[in-house]
Structures are given as C-alpha cells and as structure tokens.
Chains A and B, each alone.
Chain A
Amino acid sequence: MEQITLSIQHITKTYPGVVALDDVSIDFRKGEVHALVGENGAGKSTLIKIIAGAIECDSGALYVDNVHQKDISPYHMRQLGIEVIYQEFNLVPALSVAENIYLGSFLGNGVVVDMASMEQRAGELLRAMEVDISPDSRVADLSVAYMQMVEIAKAIAKNAKILIMDEPTAPLTTHEVEVLYKIIEKLKAQGVTIIYISHRLNEIYDVTDRLTVLRDGKKIVTKETADTTRDELIRLMVQRETSNTYPGRNLEMGKPVLEVEKLCGNGVEDISFVLHEREVLGFSGLIGAGRTEMARILFGADPMESGTLKIDGIPVKITSPEVAVKYGIGLVPEDRKQQGVLLRLSVKENIVLPILKRISRGMVVNTGKESQIIEGQRDALRIKTPSFQQKVMNLSGGNQQKVALSKWLVSNCKVLIFDEPTRGIDVGAKQEIYELINRLAAEGCAIILISSEMEEMLGMADRIIVLSEGQMMGTVEKEDFSQEKILKLASGYKN
C-alpha cells in the first residue's frame, strides 16, 4: 500500500452560474509526480487554489497524512508543507534572489537581517539545483525562465512536502525544461509529492507517474501515466478524437510580400529573409535567441538600427506600430495579458481598436459599421463569450488569445506575426487557433510564427528559420524538418 500524503474527498465548489468543481476526490501518493490535466475551465486552477487554501470550497474534506484538516487557510497549508508555484509569479522584483527565496522567513536575529548567511544558503540551494544564478542579483534583472527557478528554490527552501506546479514550463525553453525535470527527479527522490499541471502532453509523459483527468469540474479518471495512450488522454480531456492535431494546409505560395535584408537592432544581427503570400514561416530558437526582438523590430515596436525592409517590393521605413499597421503588418505578442489585449475593455472595443480610424467619419466612430464588422466575423472568431460587450478579463486564456488575434483578422493584414500564440492555452483552443492561422494563410496572408513548442513548429510551418544569440543559424525546408536538426541549429551548431 502506497503512502497517501494528501487526500481530497468530495470537494465541490460553485461560483454563481458555474460549478467549478463537482464532487472531486483524489489521493496523492508520497513521492509521486501527479499530473492534473484538462482543458481550460476544467477546474484545475480552482482545485489547486483550494488545496493551497487560497479559496474555500463549499463542501468536502482535505486530509494531509491521513489527518483531517479543518483549518484550510493559506497560512496553515504552508505550515503543513504545501507550496504552490503559480503561473503568475509571486516574486518581489526589487529584491534580490536570496531575499525572495527567504521572504517571510528572513534569517537574522529579529532586528537585523543576516544577508550574508541568507545569500550563502540561497547559493547552496541554487547550486544543488544546478541553476546558475547569483543570489545577490535583483529578480527584476532575471529572465522569465530564471524567475521560475527562483520560485522553485523558494518552495524548496520552505521544505515543501507537496509542491504544486501550475504550467511550470510555459516560459521555459527545451534546455531549461530539462533542468526542471532534473530538479523534479531530485525532489521526488526526497519524497516530495509534486502536483503537475501542464497543457503540453509531452511533458506529462516525460515527467509524471500518474495523472488525473478533469473535465467540466468533474474528475474523469486517475490512471498510471504509462498505461494511458496519447489519443486516449486527449479523448478523455476533450471527449473527442483529435485525429490530426495540426490541420493540413495545401497552399501554393504566392509572390514575396515582405523582404527583410540585414536587419539589425535590439540584440539581433544581420537577419535576412523573404516572406511570401500564403506562407507560414517559422522562427525557432532558445529563449534569448532574438525571435521576439526581431518580431518587435519588424512591427516597429522597437527601433531598427540598420537594414532594409520591402513590402510588395517597395522599400519602407517602419518607425512605430502605427506605421506597421498602416502597411498591413500585425503582431500577436507573446505576453497576452500585458501586450495582446486590453483586459479592462470589452471584446468589441479590443477587436476594432486597430481599425477605429478606418471606420470613422471624421472624428466620429461609425458604430453601425463597427457592429456590422464584428457580427460578420462572429462565426469565424469563435470567441466563447456571452456577448461582445463582455470585458476581456472575464474570458479564459484561450479566448483572450482569440481576441488578440481577431483584431488583426478584421483589419485584413498582409503580414501577421504570431509570437507564442498557443502558450498556456488548452488543446481545444489551440486547435482553433491553428485553424485560424490556416484560414488567414488561405486568404493570402503571409505569416511569421514564433514558437518554443517544437511539435507546433514542425506541424504548422512551411519553412523554419533558426536563430541563436541574435544570429541566423540556418533555414530548414519542410522536407528536411526534424527536431534534431532544429535543436542542433538552435544550440549554435551550424551544419
């Protein structure tokens, strides 16, 4: 009999109008990596928030080491050794790595903080994790991947018995994911139970021992990961067979739309390529390879130091996003909530933002035309929202991303840049975004796709350009697509 560290019994939680969790019972064993899988809105986040004590459940019981816990408060749950690493970091950017790791339990004599020993212990911890960060560096200066590592170190420093990771790999590149796997293995060996949430199915198979599938707030099944096939898992999650995850596209490439020559700036150097009508051009590389930076320069969000751009054969200067939009370039940025959508505005206001001037007579917005455009796209957009007046912050991540994409759909872009379009989005919504990309390509749009998800890259792109440290390492044609080849280029080996 396996030892059960954490057991939840008959947990139910309702919000006005929605049953977020419906009579869910799960046992988590000591020293196992247990995946929670399900589409967005399946109830995973609600469940971990209940376990962490962040929200109260309506009914149900929670046992830690077979002891019934009556006091389910965040403080008490921490005392019991339950730590959560949320998708949204809880770090103080202005403080150092060591201070963040020991935040709330500073070492010292009660008056003066003992920085030296705190930094020393943080250093030891990070070395044990094989993470190369200096404990005295400011968190604000770290990349997202390293912030993630600091979050994990913070949890380990508190001697967590149960560690909950919500999409831990979302901001990480392939190499960093491997480092994370190693850390997980180590923790497992020490008997720590890890509850692992991820939308990336590969990871579920790479790292977890068992999995629990949630769908619409109900527990569907708990199984050994090894006994579950991929198709079965997807079927359990979405209750439909996804025969081909990447919808096929059979398009003849058109004339060149965007010609980039020796583009430099913002850490990228000498990037040259030609993008055609109806083409999906992939950009692959590790974090910091300069993909996002390149995209931002093309869109005019960051200045171009040198190089030439031609649109439809005519040289252009793109000095701001406003100019880029005028030339028919759109960008779906990597950071959805901060850059992609305006959370406090409605779906409609978000979508028509780039075309407001176009649909205005003089200064006055033509609201009739506005509604007409939105209604005309209603089916194509497939945004799940009670109405287009709904504020974007009330939508799920996948639907927010569809809003970010829709604004370029209605503005008839010639060139559309997608920067990590499916990050943190569930399988169903991903599929719809792929279909939207294909539809855009079919309509003649030229597409640049930036993605850290290798499968997505191989499945969606017609051609892949690999960057490393701001430089072009090579171009891989469709017939030569292979994970090894791209990884090799991305790690800086030219062939």
Chain B
Amino acid sequence: MFKQFKKQLAILIILVLLVMFFAFAAPGFFTFNNFISLIRQISILGVVSTGMSLVLVSGGLDLSVGSQISLIGIICAALIVNGAVNPFLACIIGLVCIMLIGFINSTIIITANIWPMIATIAMMQVLQGIAYIISGGLPIYGLPEYMKWIGQGYVWVIPVPVIIMAVIMLIGSFLLNKTYFGRYLYAVGSNAEAARLSGVNITIIRTAVYIICSLLTGIGGLIMMGRVASGQPKAGANFEMDVLTACVVGGVGLNGGVGTMSGVVIGVFIMGVLSNGLGVMGVGEYYQLVCKGVVLILAVGFDGIQQKHANKKPHRVSPGNSQLKQEA
C-alpha cells in the first residue's frame, strides 16, 4: 500500500517538475488558455488510457486501440456522409462495431491462448486495412457542423471532450476501486489460475474488460472524428504507443494486477505536459517522438529495476520457479 503511494508521489513530483520546467523554459506555457488547450489535447488520451489501464490490470494488453480509433471515425463518417444515416444512429452503430472488435480480440486471446500482444498487433493491421478499404485511403469530409461539437465544443469555458474524459475517468476509478468487477480484474491480473480456483469466472472478466476498453476507445475515436471534422483513415495511427506510455508512466504494471486510476491520470498529464510544453517551446514533432520513446523506456526501466531490486529480498518467489510451473 505504502509503496504504491510512494510511487504515485514520485510521479506526481515528476509532473510538478515538468510543469515548473516548461513554465520557465516556454513562455506562454503557464497560462490559462494554454492549460485549457492542454487538457483538451489530452482528453482522447485520457479516455483511451482509462480503458487500457483496466485491460493492463487484468493482465492483458490491447495494441489495436489506435486502429480502432481510425476505424470508428471512418465507419461513422462513411455512414453519415455516404449512407445518409442519422448521425446519432451512426455513432451507436460505430460503437457497437468497435465493441464487437473488443469481443473478437478477447475471444481470440482466450480460446486460442495467444499472447495479447501478438493477437492485438494482428488485429491492429486488420482494422487499419479495413479502414483503408472503406475509405479508399482518403479522408471522408462533409460531416454536419454539430458533429464537431463533441470534439471542439465548449460548455462555458470547459471543452466538451474534457468533460467526457473527466466523467469516464471517474467511472473508471469507481469501477476499479468500488466494484467487485474491479477487484476481480486485480485478481485475474495477479494470478488467473488462482482466481479461477477461487470461483471467479475469469473468461467473463477477461472478455468484459476488452469490450469495455474498446467502448472507451470508440468514444475516444468519436471525439477524434469531431476534432478533425472528418473521417481520417490514419486518425489513430501510433496512438496505442501514447496510451501505453501514459499507463506505464502512471504506474500500471505490464504484468497485471498493479495500477491505479489516479496514477493513470498523472501519467496522462505527464504525457500531455511533455508534448504541449515541447510544442510551445517550438520543438518539432520528430524530436517529440524521440522524447516519447525515451519516456517509455525510462518508465518501464524504472519499474524493472525496482522489481529486480525487490526480488533480491529472500521472501520473494523466485521468478525462475513460476516460469517453470507455467511451462510445465
């Protein structure tokens, strides 16, 4: 408990230091307007990271979230523009399609017993391909004005996507901390077999968490569609890496069973401050990419070193043994 708290404190301090750094180094960073624009920028990241963190806690991984974002935008835009479907209905259809993809992901992972990483990388390519096929590789323009509201609108001074992000993060936190579903996620991520032998239906839990992740990713995709005011076949390209980095920076473990919603919030903000601050400073996108990669390595490396250190204590289980048991 305490360790978890200490870790969160550490990343919170990193966030504060980053903010202080940019406040000095980038004039125009520490302003109200820029703050609003920063939280608007991170809203999609925040929504999708909430879903991803649930999957990670359960011991899974979904790398197809980027393609899911591209696909839902294309599906909805095509339905609205080319099919003249009611926009509201189109969004519902889009979300259902994306949830179906979450279901397919989990089914493949569970029944064929494939590594989540491999299964969802394959799915990423499939979905990206479908997005290109539907759109012919070109953006779909011509969305009605009011569809932009979800991505660009404001309620008073607060951007709509930020409100959506806040609501979803609160729900995510509630789900993870207060419900038995959340507790099952930690249990399944910590040791699926032991959870199963405690009477937990791990198939349902693992299926549900991928579907929830896809639903949130779909919502993120709709915000993206509103923001760019079109269906872009590459809208979510590489987005999965940002999401993964935000989660890992926020202290969500890649081996399952570890992670908190508050950590994810901090992780998302760190990512947002980094890219916004570098942007304000005038650092180019190529350099930002390098920067994000380095952050991911640092976050994972920090976690790894800590685990290695903890393993030296004698009361820990030897990792060699658990590996042996799993293989045998």
Chain A interface (Cβ < 8 Å from any Cβ of B)? 15, 20, 45-46, 49, 55, 86, 88-91, 93-94, 140, 299, 301, 320-322, 324-326, 331, 333, 335, 337-346, 349, 353-354, 356-357, 360, 363-365, 389, 393-394, 396, 407
Contacts and interface: CB of A to CB of B under 8 A. Distances in A.
Given A299-B197, A356-B180, A93 B322 contact: no
14 contacts: A45-B314, A88-B317, A89-B321, A89-B324, A93-B327, A321-B197, A322-B199, A335-B325, A338-B322, A340-B194, A341-B194, A344-B191, A349-B183, A394-B315
A349 B318 contact: no
A91 B317 contact: no
B197 A140 contact: no
A389 B201 CA distance: 24
B181 interface: yes
Contacts of A344: 190-191, 257-258
Contacts of A321: 196-200
Interface in B110-164: none
A333 B324 contact: no
A93 B327 CA distance: 7
A49 B315 contact: no
A364 B186 contact: no
Contacts of A320: 196, 201
Contact of A342 (B180, B191, B314, B321): B191
Contacts of B183: 349, 353, 356, 365
A320 B201 CA distance: 8
A303 B317 CA distance: 30
A345 B190 contact: yes
B290 interface: no
B186 A393 contact: no
Nearest to B204: A322
Contact of B199 (A93, A324, A345): A324
A349 B183 CA distance: 8
A264 B316 CA distance: 39
Contact of A363 (B179, B190, B323, B328): B179
Given A342-B187, A342-B195, A91 B324 contact: yes
A393 B1 CA distance: 13
Interface in B277-328: 313-318, 320-328
Contacts of A356: 180, 183-184
Contacts of A360: 179-180
A420 to B, nearest CB: 14
A20 B316 CA distance: 15
Contact of B200 (A299, A322, A331, A346): A322
Given A88-B317, A89-B324, A90-B320, A325 B199 contact: yes
Contacts of A354: 198-200
Contacts of A324: 199
Contacts of B190: 342-345
B192 to A, nearest CB: 9
A493 to B, nearest CB: 31
A440 B32 CA distance: 64
B179 A338 contact: no
A396 to B, nearest CB: 8
Nearest to B322: A338
A337 B322 contact: yes
